[in-house]
Amino acid sequence: MANITRFDPFSDYIDDVFRRALRPVRWELEDQPLQIKLDVAENDKSYTVKAEVPGVKKEDINVQVEGNQVSITAESKREKDVKEGDKVIRSERYYGSLSRTFSLPFEVDEAGASAKYADGILELTLPKKSGSSTKKLNVQ
């Protein structure tokens, strides 16, 4: 005589899910690509731009102002070594460039512009150009 058993297609799936859930997991987050994040403030006379440029040396930052367009570029170098005792288990290096270009509503006086860099924050003071070249046309 044959034994009759009920077939459950999900029983193996459920067992597999629980086995995976109870297994120890090792999480290792990937390094995110660097981005230049900005805060731009405006008053009557100038713009103040604060840009996050972490892990970059002051000498590797380049700022260009042309009219109302501002470009920030930087060279980034990261090195990460994981050691166990005297043995290097893993070594990772990242070399790349970052850039960010944005436009402001008014032109910038390049002669009066200044930049400071401290603690990963680049602070730009960009005075507005006086005597804007806006011309009002009379309609005839």
Q: What is the pLDDT along the chain (140 residues), one digit of tens a residue?
A: 567 766 666 666 666 776 666 666 655 555 555 678 999 999 999 999 999 988 888 899 999 999 899 999 999 877 777 777 778 777 777 778 889 999 999 999 988 899 999 998 999 999 998 865 555 555 74
Distance of CA 117 to the CA centre of its chain: 17
| pTM, to two decimals | 0.62
Say what the pLDDT of residue 140 is: 45
What is d(CA 8, CA 57) in angstroms, rounded to the nearest whole number?
62
Q: Are strands 61-66 and 69-84 parallel, antiparallel or unpaired?
A: antiparallel
Q: Which residue has the tokens 């700022």?
A: 63
Say what the pLDDT of residue 125 is: 94
Domain ranges of the chain: 36-127
Q: Are strands 87-103 and 114-118 parallel, antiparallel or unpaired?
A: unpaired
What is d(CA 47, CA 133) in angstroms, rounded to the nearest whole number?
18
What is d(CA 89, CA 123) in angstroms, rounded to the nearest whole number?
39
Q: Domain 36-127, CATH 2.40.50.100 — does that match?
A: no
- Greatest CA span in the chain, whole angstroms? 107
With b for 16 or more beta-carbon neighbours within 10 A and e for fewer, the 106-117 pattern comes to: bbbeeeebebeb
Say what the pLDDT of residue 98 is: 87
